[in-house]
Amino acid sequence: MLNGTIDLHLHSICSDGKDTPEELVEASLGAGYKTISITDHDSVEGVPRAIESAKGKPIEIIPGIELSSVDDSDDVHILGYYIDYEEPYFIKRIEFFKEKRRDRAEEIVKNLNKVGLDIRIDTVFRIAHGAPIGRPHIAEALLSEELIDTYGEAFFRYIGANGPAYVPKYKVEPAEAIELILKNGGIPVLAHPGIMDRDELIIELKECGLMGIEAIHPLHVPEKQLYYEKLANKYGLLITGGSDWHGKGRNRSFRKMINSRKVPHKTISEMKSIIKNRKKSEKKDSSRT
Look at residue 249 and tell me whether its pLDDT is greater than 90: no
Look at residue 283 and tell me whether its pLDDT is greater than 90: no
Cα–Cα nearest to 7, from 285, 274, 268 = 268
Contact 166, 154 (CB under 8 A): no
Tell me what pLDDT residue 73 has.
81
Question: Can you tell me the distance from the alpha carbon of 208 to that of 202, in angstroms, rounded to the nearest whole number?
Answer: 10
CA angle 86, 16, 84 (to 5 degrees): 15
How confident is the model over 109-158, as pLDDT tens digits?
999 999 999 999 999 999 998 888 999 999 999 999 999 999 999 999 99
Look at residue 1 and tell me whether its pLDDT is greater than 60: no
How confident is the model over 255-276, as pLDDT tens digits?
343 345 689 899 999 999 999 9
Tell me what pLDDT residue 256 has.
40
Confidence of residue 287 (pLDDT cuts 50, 70, 90): low
Other C-beta atoms lying within 10 Å of the C-beta of residue 119: 21
Mean pLDDT within 50-74: 95
Tell me what pLDDT residue 252 has.
40
> Model-level pTM?
0.87
Q: Find the range with the poorest average confidence among 16-20, 41-45, 282-286.
A: 282-286
Question: Can you tell me the distance from the alpha carbon of 20 to that of 48, in angstroms, rounded to the nearest whole number?
Answer: 12
Please report the DSSP string for 7-35 in residue order.
EEEE--TTTT-SS-HHHHHHHHHHTT-SE
Question: How far, CA to CA in Å, does 200 sit from each of 45, 165, 193, 204, 207?
Answer: 33, 31, 11, 7, 12
Contact 275, 187 (CB under 8 A): yes
- The DSSP element (H or E) to which 201 belongs, if any, is helix 200-207
Look at residue 74 and tell me whether its pLDDT is greater than 90: no
Is CATH 1.20.1260.10 correct for 6-85+185-288? no
Is the sign of the CA dihedral 168, 169, 171, 174 positive or negative? negative
- Map out the domains of the chain as residue ranges: 6-85+185-288
Contact 44, 65 (CB under 8 A): yes
To the nearest whole number, what is the mean pLDDT of the chain? 91
How confident is the model over 211-225, as pLDDT tens digits?
999 999 998 999 999
Cα–Cα nearest to 154, from 253, 43, 220, 256 = 253
How confident is the model over 171-202, as pLDDT tens digits?
899 999 999 999 999 999 999 999 988 899 99
